[in-house]
Amino acid sequence: MSSETILDLGLLEGPLLIFGGPYGNLTATKALRRVAEQRGIPPECTICTGDLVAYCAEPEETVRLLRDWGVRIVMGNCEESLANRAIDCGCGFETGSTCSALSTEWFRYVDNKISDENRLWMGNLPQILTFKLAGRRLAVVHGGVTQINRFLFASTPIEDKLAELKQLGADVDGAADIDGVIGGHCGIPFGQLMVGQVWLNAGVIGLPANDGTQDGWYMLIEPVGEKLQAHWHRLTYPAEQARQAMLKAGLASGYADTIISGLWPSEDVLPDREKRNRGKALELPSIMF
């Protein structure tokens, strides 16, 4: 990985607001910006793990809002594909899977809506962000360190995550000091302590987490004494408004229903453990590290 794809944000002051997957859901993105403003969290302490555009109806408007907001953003596979004018979203769906078939509609729609200016901007986003907070050094990626569209879930073996951290050590100067990774892509929030390090996923705001609720998810990280605490929050917003925008745009292949039902139209990418949690409202305990 070249140095141009890695951006060090230096020393930040908490709390930090972390979120992923706006997915072109302008209504949810506006709601999260209001949360940040109400909590007094400035844009430089707000980080997005990528996939700004995908399933929902207002991709160009969502990107404009995020750029105007000024938050820190890691490149997702959707941004990479649009910047490179690829023929698909690069999500990592298996060929012939339901997820792959469903992505054809929304990616074609997004590809037609995104401006050349925003494609160019997407192509210049970093693939890794690093920062220090209260003496801890963390790295932010989209999927994995080794692969932008790698799916890493709570049930993914710890050995796989530790291998990603090892690769991070080869890519980032001084990464031996990195205390953990913040990832995205998989769409379901989780946190996991592993051998003195941590792997965190804030979840996404643009679609529900397949848990039978309409909520998106975001994460706050803040110093508590000499440690950091990560805690997850639901984002409740006018979901029907986002659904109506999708239906008006002709995006009716399943994800418009997901906005309201809280259930994904396909679970091809999910490991067995996550499939068993379908429709069960998530409860995430805080993690101290």
CA atoms within 13 A on the CB side of 199: 27
By the 8 A CB rule, do 138 and 131 touch? yes
Instruction: Kindly state the helix (H) or strand (E) to which residue 16 belongs, with its residue range.
Output: strand 16-19
For 109-160, the pLDDT digits (tens) are 999 999 999 999 999 999 999 999 999 999 999 999 989 999 999 999 999 9
Residues 6 or more apart in contact with residue 270 via CB below 8 angstroms:
153, 210
CATH topology of domain 13-125+201-288: Purple Acid Phosphatase; chain A, domain 2 (3.60.21)
Rounded distance, CA 239 to CA 253, Å? 17
Chain position carrying tokens 């998989």: 186
Rounded distance, CA 86 to CA 89, Å? 7
Rounded distance, CA 142 to CA 255, Å? 21
Nearest to 5 by CA among 98, 91, 74, 66: 74
What was the pLDDT predicted at 3? 45
Rounded distance, CA 284 to CA 14, Å? 21
What was the pLDDT predicted at 94? 74
- Order of strands, sheet of 46-48, starting from the edge strand that comes earlier in the sequence: 72-73, 46-48, 16-19, 216-224, 227-235, 287-288
What was the pLDDT predicted at 113? 97
Rounded distance, CA 91 to CA 142, Å? 11
What was the pLDDT predicted at 169? 66
Rounded distance, CA 13 to CA 220, Å? 12
- For the chain, domain boundaries: 13-125+201-288
Which residues of the chain are modeled with pLDDT < 50? 1-3
